[in-house]
Amino acid sequence: MNALAATNRNFRHAARILGLDSKIEKSLLIPFREIKCTIPKDDGSLVSYVGFRVQHDNARGPMKGGIRYHPEVDPDEVNALAQLMTWKTAVADIPYGGAKGGIGCTPRELSMSELERLTRVFTQKIHDLIGIHTDIPAPDMGTNAQTMAWILDEYSKFHGHSPAVVTGKPLDLGGSLGRDAATGRGVVFATEALLAEHGMKIKDLTFVIQGFGNVGSWAARLIHERGGKVVAVSDITGAVTNPNGIDVPELIIHKEKTNSLVNFQGADGMDPNELLVHECDVLIPCALGGVLNRENAAGVRAKFIVEAANHPTDPEADEILSKKGVLILPDIYANAGGVTVSYFEWVQNIQGFMWDEEKVNKELQRYMTRAFYNIKSMCKSHDCSLRMGAFTLGVNRVARATLLRGWEA
Protein backbone atom coordinates (compact mmCIF):
# COMPACT_ATOMS: atom_id res chain seq x y z
CA MET A 1 0.00 0.00 0.00
CA ASN A 2 1.50 3.36 -0.98
CA ALA A 3 1.90 6.20 1.48
CA LEU A 4 -1.14 8.18 0.30
CA ALA A 5 -3.50 5.17 0.42
CA ALA A 6 -2.26 4.25 3.91
CA THR A 7 -2.58 7.82 5.19
CA ASN A 8 -6.11 8.15 3.77
CA ARG A 9 -7.05 4.84 5.38
CA ASN A 10 -5.87 6.01 8.82
CA PHE A 11 -7.68 9.34 8.34
CA ARG A 12 -10.97 7.66 7.40
CA HIS A 13 -10.71 5.33 10.40
CA ALA A 14 -10.21 8.36 12.68
CA ALA A 15 -13.11 10.18 11.00
CA ARG A 16 -15.41 7.21 11.65
CA ILE A 17 -14.35 7.07 15.30
CA LEU A 18 -15.08 10.80 15.64
CA GLY A 19 -18.37 10.52 13.74
CA LEU A 20 -17.46 13.31 11.31
CA ASP A 21 -20.03 14.47 8.77
CA SER A 22 -19.22 12.93 5.34
CA LYS A 23 -18.95 16.34 3.68
CA ILE A 24 -16.40 17.74 6.12
CA GLU A 25 -14.54 14.42 5.96
CA LYS A 26 -14.20 14.82 2.19
CA SER A 27 -13.23 18.49 2.58
CA LEU A 28 -10.42 17.66 5.03
CA LEU A 29 -8.95 15.12 2.59
CA ILE A 30 -8.74 17.40 -0.46
CA PRO A 31 -5.53 19.47 -0.61
CA PHE A 32 -5.93 23.25 -0.45
CA ARG A 33 -3.57 23.64 -3.41
CA GLU A 34 -1.09 21.64 -5.49
CA ILE A 35 1.79 23.28 -7.36
CA LYS A 36 3.82 21.62 -10.11
CA CYS A 37 6.58 23.12 -12.18
CA THR A 38 9.14 21.86 -14.68
CA ILE A 39 12.61 23.21 -14.04
CA PRO A 40 15.30 23.01 -16.72
CA LYS A 41 18.84 22.19 -15.69
CA ASP A 42 20.94 25.25 -16.29
CA ASP A 43 24.03 23.59 -17.81
CA GLY A 44 23.13 23.50 -21.47
CA SER A 45 21.60 20.03 -21.41
CA LEU A 46 17.96 19.22 -22.09
CA VAL A 47 17.39 17.61 -18.69
CA SER A 48 14.50 19.01 -16.68
CA TYR A 49 13.18 18.40 -13.18
CA VAL A 50 9.63 18.40 -11.89
CA GLY A 51 8.98 20.16 -8.62
CA PHE A 52 5.90 19.91 -6.41
CA ARG A 53 4.44 21.92 -3.55
CA VAL A 54 1.24 20.55 -2.04
CA GLN A 55 -0.57 22.76 0.46
CA HIS A 56 -3.02 20.58 2.35
CA ASP A 57 -4.79 22.62 5.02
CA ASN A 58 -4.60 26.05 6.69
CA ALA A 59 -7.53 25.94 9.12
CA ARG A 60 -5.24 26.14 12.18
CA GLY A 61 -2.56 28.46 10.79
CA PRO A 62 0.04 28.84 8.02
CA MET A 63 0.94 25.65 6.20
CA LYS A 64 4.23 24.00 7.12
CA GLY A 65 6.31 21.27 5.58
CA GLY A 66 9.65 20.20 4.23
CA ILE A 67 11.09 20.24 0.74
CA ARG A 68 12.83 17.02 -0.30
CA TYR A 69 15.21 16.40 -3.19
CA HIS A 70 14.95 12.73 -4.11
CA PRO A 71 14.60 10.77 -7.38
CA GLU A 72 11.39 9.08 -6.17
CA VAL A 73 9.50 12.28 -5.32
CA ASP A 74 6.02 11.92 -6.83
CA PRO A 75 2.56 13.49 -6.35
CA ASP A 76 1.17 10.67 -4.18
CA GLU A 77 4.12 10.77 -1.78
CA VAL A 78 4.04 14.57 -1.50
CA ASN A 79 0.26 14.55 -0.99
CA ALA A 80 0.56 11.92 1.76
CA LEU A 81 3.31 13.80 3.58
CA ALA A 82 1.42 17.12 3.33
CA GLN A 83 -1.63 15.48 4.87
CA LEU A 84 0.47 13.84 7.60
CA MET A 85 1.93 17.25 8.45
CA THR A 86 -1.60 18.64 8.95
CA TRP A 87 -2.36 15.96 11.55
CA LYS A 88 1.17 16.13 13.04
CA THR A 89 1.04 19.87 13.77
CA ALA A 90 -2.42 19.45 15.27
CA VAL A 91 -1.23 16.58 17.50
CA ALA A 92 1.68 18.73 18.72
CA ASP A 93 -0.80 21.62 19.16
CA ILE A 94 1.26 24.13 17.20
CA PRO A 95 -0.64 26.68 15.04
CA TYR A 96 0.16 25.32 11.61
CA GLY A 97 -1.44 23.34 8.82
CA GLY A 98 0.28 20.88 6.51
CA ALA A 99 2.26 21.23 3.30
CA LYS A 100 5.05 19.34 1.55
CA GLY A 101 7.29 19.91 -1.43
CA GLY A 102 9.93 18.21 -3.45
CA ILE A 103 11.92 18.04 -6.64
CA GLY A 104 12.54 14.77 -8.44
CA CYS A 105 16.34 14.76 -8.63
CA THR A 106 19.40 12.99 -7.26
CA PRO A 107 21.28 15.64 -5.22
CA ARG A 108 24.61 13.77 -5.13
CA GLU A 109 24.73 13.86 -8.95
CA LEU A 110 24.48 17.66 -8.99
CA SER A 111 27.25 20.14 -8.25
CA MET A 112 26.77 22.75 -5.53
CA SER A 113 26.19 25.46 -8.15
CA GLU A 114 23.60 23.28 -9.95
CA LEU A 115 21.77 22.66 -6.66
CA GLU A 116 21.75 26.40 -5.99
CA ARG A 117 20.37 27.21 -9.45
CA LEU A 118 17.74 24.48 -9.11
CA THR A 119 16.66 25.81 -5.71
CA ARG A 120 16.50 29.42 -6.87
CA VAL A 121 14.43 28.59 -9.98
CA PHE A 122 12.04 26.52 -7.85
CA THR A 123 11.71 29.43 -5.40
CA GLN A 124 10.96 31.80 -8.28
CA LYS A 125 8.08 29.51 -9.26
CA ILE A 126 6.55 29.39 -5.77
CA HIS A 127 7.58 32.68 -4.11
CA ASP A 128 4.07 34.14 -4.35
CA LEU A 129 2.56 30.97 -2.86
CA ILE A 130 4.77 30.66 0.22
CA GLY A 131 5.16 33.28 2.94
CA ILE A 132 5.59 34.00 6.64
CA HIS A 133 1.85 33.69 7.29
CA THR A 134 1.01 31.44 4.34
CA ASP A 135 3.36 28.47 3.88
CA ILE A 136 6.75 27.98 5.55
CA PRO A 137 9.12 25.41 3.98
CA ALA A 138 11.82 23.51 5.88
CA PRO A 139 14.58 20.98 5.07
CA ASP A 140 13.76 17.35 4.38
CA MET A 141 15.46 14.39 2.72
CA GLY A 142 18.19 15.64 0.36
CA THR A 143 17.99 19.26 1.52
CA ASN A 144 19.62 21.12 4.41
CA ALA A 145 20.26 24.50 6.03
CA GLN A 146 22.11 25.71 2.93
CA THR A 147 19.07 24.94 0.75
CA MET A 148 16.92 27.01 3.11
CA ALA A 149 19.45 29.86 2.92
CA TRP A 150 19.09 29.94 -0.89
CA ILE A 151 15.29 29.92 -0.64
CA LEU A 152 15.38 32.72 1.94
CA ASP A 153 17.70 34.81 -0.24
CA GLU A 154 15.67 34.29 -3.43
CA TYR A 155 12.37 34.94 -1.65
CA SER A 156 13.77 38.13 -0.10
CA LYS A 157 14.54 39.52 -3.57
CA PHE A 158 10.77 39.63 -4.16
CA HIS A 159 9.46 40.37 -0.67
CA GLY A 160 12.25 41.99 1.36
CA HIS A 161 14.16 40.49 4.29
CA SER A 162 11.93 37.68 5.59
CA PRO A 163 13.82 35.25 7.84
CA ALA A 164 10.59 33.58 9.05
CA VAL A 165 9.69 32.34 5.53
CA VAL A 166 11.73 29.15 6.05
CA THR A 167 12.91 27.22 9.09
CA GLY A 168 15.94 24.99 9.50
CA LYS A 169 18.17 27.88 8.38
CA PRO A 170 21.83 28.41 9.33
CA LEU A 171 22.22 30.12 12.71
CA ASP A 172 23.81 33.15 11.03
CA LEU A 173 20.60 33.76 9.08
CA GLY A 174 18.18 33.38 12.00
CA GLY A 175 18.15 29.64 12.53
CA SER A 176 17.37 28.27 15.98
CA LEU A 177 19.74 26.61 18.40
CA GLY A 178 18.70 23.00 18.93
CA ARG A 179 17.07 22.63 15.50
CA ASP A 180 19.65 20.17 14.15
CA ALA A 181 18.98 17.69 16.96
CA ALA A 182 15.28 18.46 17.33
CA THR A 183 13.68 15.48 15.58
CA GLY A 184 16.00 12.96 17.25
CA ARG A 185 15.60 14.68 20.62
CA GLY A 186 11.82 14.70 20.19
CA VAL A 187 11.92 10.95 19.45
CA VAL A 188 13.74 10.41 22.76
CA PHE A 189 11.29 12.60 24.71
CA ALA A 190 8.40 10.67 23.12
CA THR A 191 10.07 7.35 23.99
CA GLU A 192 10.56 8.49 27.61
CA ALA A 193 6.87 9.44 27.86
CA LEU A 194 5.80 6.05 26.47
CA LEU A 195 8.12 4.07 28.71
CA ALA A 196 7.13 6.06 31.82
CA GLU A 197 3.54 4.96 31.18
CA HIS A 198 4.78 1.37 31.62
CA GLY A 199 7.08 2.04 34.57
CA MET A 200 10.24 1.76 32.46
CA LYS A 201 13.29 3.91 31.74
CA ILE A 202 15.67 4.15 28.79
CA LYS A 203 18.65 3.13 30.93
CA ASP A 204 17.17 -0.33 31.54
CA LEU A 205 16.38 -1.25 27.92
CA THR A 206 17.95 -2.28 24.61
CA PHE A 207 17.43 -0.39 21.34
CA VAL A 208 17.77 -1.09 17.61
CA ILE A 209 17.93 1.88 15.25
CA GLN A 210 17.36 1.67 11.49
CA GLY A 211 18.83 4.72 9.78
CA PHE A 212 21.86 6.64 10.99
CA GLY A 213 21.37 10.02 9.35
CA ASN A 214 20.49 13.14 11.30
CA VAL A 215 17.50 11.68 13.18
CA GLY A 216 18.92 8.22 13.86
CA SER A 217 22.35 9.41 14.96
CA TRP A 218 20.90 12.01 17.34
CA ALA A 219 18.39 9.52 18.78
CA ALA A 220 21.20 6.97 19.28
CA ARG A 221 23.50 9.55 20.87
CA LEU A 222 20.83 10.75 23.33
CA ILE A 223 19.74 7.21 24.21
CA HIS A 224 23.41 6.31 24.85
CA GLU A 225 23.78 9.40 27.08
CA ARG A 226 20.78 8.26 29.13
CA GLY A 227 22.32 4.84 29.68
CA GLY A 228 20.28 2.94 27.11
CA LYS A 229 21.98 0.08 25.27
CA VAL A 230 21.97 0.50 21.47
CA VAL A 231 22.59 -3.08 20.28
CA ALA A 232 22.25 -2.67 16.49
CA VAL A 233 22.32 0.16 13.94
CA SER A 234 21.98 0.24 10.16
CA ASP A 235 21.99 2.68 7.29
CA ILE A 236 22.33 2.50 3.51
CA THR A 237 26.00 1.45 3.86
CA GLY A 238 25.41 -1.59 6.09
CA ALA A 239 24.61 -2.68 9.64
CA VAL A 240 26.52 -3.35 12.86
CA THR A 241 25.63 -5.05 16.13
CA ASN A 242 27.04 -5.49 19.62
CA PRO A 243 24.92 -7.29 22.25
CA ASN A 244 26.82 -5.46 25.00
CA GLY A 245 25.92 -2.08 23.51
CA ILE A 246 27.55 -0.01 20.75
CA ASP A 247 29.75 2.95 21.72
CA VAL A 248 27.59 5.46 19.85
CA PRO A 249 29.95 8.49 20.01
CA GLU A 250 32.73 6.31 18.55
CA LEU A 251 30.38 5.03 15.82
CA ILE A 252 29.47 8.62 14.91
CA ILE A 253 33.18 9.49 14.61
CA HIS A 254 33.75 6.39 12.44
CA LYS A 255 30.79 7.31 10.19
CA GLU A 256 32.04 10.90 9.81
CA LYS A 257 35.54 9.69 8.85
CA THR A 258 34.53 6.88 6.47
CA ASN A 259 30.97 7.78 5.37
CA SER A 260 30.08 4.20 6.28
CA LEU A 261 29.13 1.98 9.22
CA VAL A 262 31.11 -1.01 7.95
CA ASN A 263 34.47 -1.97 9.46
CA PHE A 264 33.63 -0.30 12.78
CA GLN A 265 35.92 -1.92 15.36
CA GLY A 266 33.44 -1.72 18.23
CA ALA A 267 30.78 -3.97 16.67
CA ASP A 268 30.24 -6.91 14.34
CA GLY A 269 28.81 -6.59 10.86
CA MET A 270 25.33 -7.99 10.23
CA ASP A 271 22.84 -8.37 7.41
CA PRO A 272 20.85 -5.09 7.22
CA ASN A 273 17.77 -7.12 6.26
CA GLU A 274 17.90 -8.77 9.70
CA LEU A 275 17.96 -5.51 11.63
CA LEU A 276 14.20 -5.00 11.94
CA VAL A 277 13.76 -8.47 13.45
CA HIS A 278 16.79 -8.20 15.75
CA GLU A 279 16.07 -8.90 19.41
CA CYS A 280 15.55 -5.69 21.43
CA ASP A 281 13.10 -3.86 23.66
CA VAL A 282 12.61 -0.80 21.44
CA LEU A 283 12.87 -0.64 17.64
CA ILE A 284 13.25 2.84 16.12
CA PRO A 285 12.89 3.04 12.30
CA CYS A 286 14.49 6.32 11.16
CA ALA A 287 14.77 5.69 7.41
CA LEU A 288 12.24 5.39 4.57
CA GLY A 289 8.56 4.49 4.71
CA GLY A 290 7.06 1.03 4.35
CA VAL A 291 9.98 -0.86 5.90
CA LEU A 292 7.70 -2.84 8.22
CA ASN A 293 5.29 -4.87 6.11
CA ARG A 294 3.45 -8.18 6.03
CA GLU A 295 6.63 -10.04 5.03
CA ASN A 296 8.66 -9.12 8.13
CA ALA A 297 6.14 -7.94 10.76
CA ALA A 298 5.62 -11.41 12.25
CA GLY A 299 9.36 -11.67 12.93
CA VAL A 300 9.66 -8.40 14.87
CA ARG A 301 10.85 -9.13 18.42
CA ALA A 302 10.71 -5.62 19.87
CA LYS A 303 8.16 -4.80 22.56
CA PHE A 304 7.87 -1.17 21.42
CA ILE A 305 8.24 0.54 18.02
CA VAL A 306 8.87 4.28 17.89
CA GLU A 307 8.23 5.61 14.37
CA ALA A 308 10.93 8.22 13.82
CA ALA A 309 10.50 7.85 10.02
CA ASN A 310 7.39 8.89 8.12
CA HIS A 311 5.03 5.95 7.51
CA PRO A 312 7.51 3.14 8.30
CA THR A 313 4.71 0.66 9.15
CA ASP A 314 2.18 -0.24 6.49
CA PRO A 315 -1.40 -1.02 7.59
CA GLU A 316 -1.04 -4.81 7.17
CA ALA A 317 2.06 -4.80 9.39
CA ASP A 318 0.20 -2.58 11.86
CA GLU A 319 -2.48 -5.25 12.30
CA ILE A 320 0.05 -8.08 12.64
CA LEU A 321 2.11 -6.17 15.21
CA SER A 322 -0.96 -5.14 17.21
CA LYS A 323 -2.06 -8.76 17.46
CA LYS A 324 1.43 -9.63 18.74
CA GLY A 325 1.03 -7.01 21.46
CA VAL A 326 3.71 -4.67 20.10
CA LEU A 327 3.03 -1.05 21.08
CA ILE A 328 3.65 1.40 18.23
CA LEU A 329 4.24 5.09 18.86
CA PRO A 330 3.00 6.62 15.58
CA ASP A 331 5.02 8.88 13.30
CA ILE A 332 2.61 11.84 13.46
CA TYR A 333 3.59 12.14 17.12
CA ALA A 334 6.97 10.46 17.51
CA ASN A 335 8.83 12.52 14.90
CA ALA A 336 7.08 15.83 15.60
CA GLY A 337 10.14 17.28 17.38
CA GLY A 338 11.49 18.76 14.15
CA VAL A 339 8.37 20.72 13.24
CA THR A 340 7.94 21.78 16.87
CA VAL A 341 11.37 23.40 16.99
CA SER A 342 10.72 24.81 13.50
CA TYR A 343 7.73 26.51 15.11
CA PHE A 344 10.02 27.85 17.84
CA GLU A 345 12.40 29.17 15.14
CA TRP A 346 9.49 30.89 13.35
CA VAL A 347 8.36 32.48 16.64
CA GLN A 348 11.90 33.71 17.34
CA ASN A 349 12.18 35.22 13.85
CA ILE A 350 8.85 37.03 14.13
CA GLN A 351 9.72 38.37 17.60
CA GLY A 352 13.29 39.23 16.62
CA PHE A 353 14.39 37.62 19.90
CA MET A 354 16.43 34.43 19.93
CA TRP A 355 16.29 31.73 22.63
CA ASP A 356 19.20 29.86 24.20
CA GLU A 357 19.43 26.12 23.56
CA GLU A 358 18.34 25.18 27.08
CA LYS A 359 15.03 27.00 26.58
CA VAL A 360 14.49 25.36 23.17
CA ASN A 361 15.05 21.86 24.58
CA LYS A 362 12.95 22.50 27.68
CA GLU A 363 10.02 23.76 25.59
CA LEU A 364 10.38 20.80 23.22
CA GLN A 365 10.16 18.36 26.13
CA ARG A 366 7.07 20.16 27.43
CA TYR A 367 5.30 20.00 24.05
CA MET A 368 6.19 16.34 23.41
CA THR A 369 5.16 15.21 26.90
CA ARG A 370 1.88 17.14 26.80
CA ALA A 371 1.05 15.70 23.37
CA PHE A 372 1.59 12.16 24.63
CA TYR A 373 -0.90 12.58 27.45
CA ASN A 374 -3.41 14.17 25.06
CA ILE A 375 -3.06 11.09 22.80
CA LYS A 376 -3.54 8.75 25.77
CA SER A 377 -6.70 10.65 26.68
CA MET A 378 -8.11 10.06 23.18
CA CYS A 379 -7.15 6.37 23.43
CA LYS A 380 -9.18 6.07 26.62
CA SER A 381 -12.14 8.02 25.21
CA HIS A 382 -12.36 5.96 22.02
CA ASP A 383 -10.82 2.65 23.17
CA CYS A 384 -8.29 2.70 20.36
CA SER A 385 -4.59 2.22 19.60
CA LEU A 386 -1.93 4.90 20.00
CA ARG A 387 -2.01 5.45 16.23
CA MET A 388 -5.75 6.06 16.20
CA GLY A 389 -5.42 8.10 19.40
CA ALA A 390 -2.99 10.39 17.58
CA PHE A 391 -5.07 10.53 14.40
CA THR A 392 -8.33 11.24 16.24
CA LEU A 393 -6.59 13.97 18.27
CA GLY A 394 -5.19 15.64 15.16
CA VAL A 395 -8.22 15.22 12.91
CA ASN A 396 -10.59 16.42 15.65
CA ARG A 397 -8.56 19.61 16.20
CA VAL A 398 -8.49 20.40 12.48
CA ALA A 399 -12.20 19.63 12.07
CA ARG A 400 -13.09 21.89 15.01
CA ALA A 401 -11.00 24.75 13.60
CA THR A 402 -12.57 24.27 10.16
CA LEU A 403 -16.10 24.43 11.58
CA LEU A 404 -15.32 27.41 13.82
CA ARG A 405 -14.01 29.38 10.84
CA GLY A 406 -17.47 29.08 9.25
CA TRP A 407 -17.15 26.13 6.89
CA GLU A 408 -20.59 25.27 5.54
CA ALA A 409 -21.57 21.67 4.82
Catalytic residues: 100
Give the N- to C-terminal CA distance of the chain in Å, as an integer.
31
Q: Which residues are annotated as a binding site?
A: 64, 88, 183, 214, 342
Q: Which residues are annotated as a binding site for NAD(+)?
A: 183, 214
**In 172-314, alpha helices (H):** 182-197, 214-225, 248-258
User: Can you say how many angstroms the Cα of residue 276 is from the centroid of all Cα atoms in its chain?
Assistant: 19
Q: Is 344 left (phi over 0), alpha (psi -120 to 50) or beta?
A: alpha
What is the Cα–Cα distance from 115 to 207, expressed in whole angstroms? 37
Instruction: Kindly report the number of other CB atoms within 10 A of residue 53's CB atom.
Output: 26
Phi, psi of 289 (to 5 degrees): -75, 165
Long-range contacts of 261-268 (CB under 8 A, 24+ apart): 261/212, 261/233, 261/234, 261/235, 261/237, 262/237, 262/238, 264/240, 266/242, 267/233, 267/240, 267/241, 267/242, 268/240, 268/241, 268/242
Strand order from edge to edge, sheet including 268-270: 268-270, 238-241, 229-235, 206-210, 282-285, 304-306, 327-329
Instruction: Kindly report the number of other CB atoms within 10 A of residue 401's CB atom.
Output: 18
Helix (H, G, I), strand (E, B) or coil at 311: coil
Residue closest to 284 by CA, chosen among 266, 300, 264: 300
Cα dihedral 5→293→216→110 (10° resolution):
-60
Q: With b meaning 16 or more CB within 10 Å and e meaning fewer, what string describes 119-149?
A: bbbbbeebbeebbbeebbbbbbbbbbbebbb
**Beta bridge mates, 50:** 38
Please say whether the beta carbons of 340 and 361 come within 8 A. no
Strand pairing report for 48-57 and 97-103: antiparallel
In whole angstroms, how far apart are CA 19 and each of 89, 122, 316, 382, 399? 22, 41, 24, 11, 11
User: Can you say how many angstroms the Cα of residue 391 is from the centroid of all Cα atoms in its chain?
Assistant: 15
Strand pairing report for 97-103 and 135-139: unpaired
